[in-house]
């Protein structure tokens, strides 16, 4: 039986809501598997102790639990255990669409995020998220849109809002059409996102609302970390009102740049650097992964250490 650390009544309430509203619901919970007394029916117990998983639970229109997915790629989460076996989350609906689902940090990994699409031909993904945004490349909505675009899938990403810890960012995306609707705010809030999604990703008919842009000052309360690999990038500082045509190299990466930009008068302006990188980077010390990039990113001043930072 599914046991949530939030309590049984929480699951009952969600089940009732799915039934009353005639909808499918995907939620993320902390799941307890208590193996302290030995074997548990239908489960593998490596040791006689309690395990806590980061788990997605899917309810159908009748309120029944039809699928469960235990997170494979933990981001720290020292009190939790990754899934014992890398089982993928998938569920069928009564409107002819099969959804895959994963959560948060999983979006950056072959298993499950890429395998769901490439091996099982899933075109629609649901992901509850508690994303810690990192500048300049891994803010929540940029990762969500990048995944939807590169994999050419519909993505429904529901992000937690805890701005002091850097958690914000939700969106509905349709393949290479990008965001049908997305929001990322530095203000504590709750917001329902609703959009009409085509069954074939990218075949959008009619107007698209796209990203909801708040006042820049609204972002001041949103904490970001910074990519620790930036000081190891091959970079070149760019000056405004100058025409550039040059190449940056880093191992197997070759980046060709042809650009010119102008700063707005009377405003405080960021500095910009062109960059190339090929190597291994860390994700806040919790995991490592290969990275290859050509980029232009903003910096708070002329130093490379300030790149990915916002003005205070």
Give the model's pLDDT for residue 6.
67
Q: Is 39 left (phi over 0), alpha (psi -120 to 50) or beta?
A: beta
Which pLDDT score is estimated for 13?
95
What is the signed CA dihedral for 178, 244, 138, 58, rounded to 10 degrees?
20
From residue 98, give the alpha-carbon distance in Å to each of 107, 117, 141, 249, 250: 18, 11, 24, 43, 41
Look at residue 266 in the predicted model and tell me its pLDDT: 67
Closest CA to 170 of 192, 151, 153: 192
Low-confidence ranges of the chain (pLDDT < 50): none
Smallest CA-to-CA distance from 135 within 270, 231, 233, 226 is with 226
Q: pTM score, two decimals?
A: 0.92
The pLDDT value given to residue 196: 93
């Amino acid at each position: 039986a599914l046991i949530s650390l939030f309590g049984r009544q929480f699951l009952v309430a969600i089940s009732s809501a799915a039934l009353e509203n005639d909808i499918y619901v995907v939620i993320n919970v902390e799941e307890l598997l208590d193996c302290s007394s030995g074997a548990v029916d239908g489960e593998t117990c490596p040791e006689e102790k309690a395990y806590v998983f980061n788990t997605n639970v899917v309810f159908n229109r009748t309120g029944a639990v039809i699928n469960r997915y235990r997170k494979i790629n933990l981001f720290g989460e020292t009190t939790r255990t990754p899934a014992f076996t890398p089982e993928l989350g998938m569920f069928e609906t009564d409107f002819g669409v099969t959804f895959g689902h994963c959560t948060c940090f999983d979006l950056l990994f072959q298993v499950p995020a890429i395998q769901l699409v490439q091996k099982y031909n899933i075109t629609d993904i649901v992901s509850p998220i508690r994303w810690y945004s990192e500048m300049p490349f891994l803010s929540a909505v940029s990762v969500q849109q990048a995944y939807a675009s590169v994999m050419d899938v519909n993505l429904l990403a529901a992000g937690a809002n805890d701005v002091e810890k850097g958690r914000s960012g939700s969106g509905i995306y349709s393949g290479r059409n990008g965001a049908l609707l997305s929001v990322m705010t530095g203000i504590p809030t709750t917001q329902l996102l609703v959009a009409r999604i085509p069954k074939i990703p990218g075949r959008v008919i009619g107007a698209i609302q796209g990203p909801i842009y708040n006042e820049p000052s609204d972002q001041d309360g949103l904490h970001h970390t910074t990519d620790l690999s930036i000081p190891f990038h091959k970079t070149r500082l760019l000056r405004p009102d100058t025409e550039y045509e040059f190449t940056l190299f880093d191992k197997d990466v070759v980046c060709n740049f042809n650009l010119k930009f102008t700063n707005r008068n009377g405003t405080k302006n960021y500095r910009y650097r062109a960059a190339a990188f090929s190597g291994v980077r860390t994700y806040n010390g919790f995991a490592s992964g290969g990275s290859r990039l050509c980029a232009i990113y903003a910096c708070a001043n002329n130093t490379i250490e300030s790149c990915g930072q916002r003005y205070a």
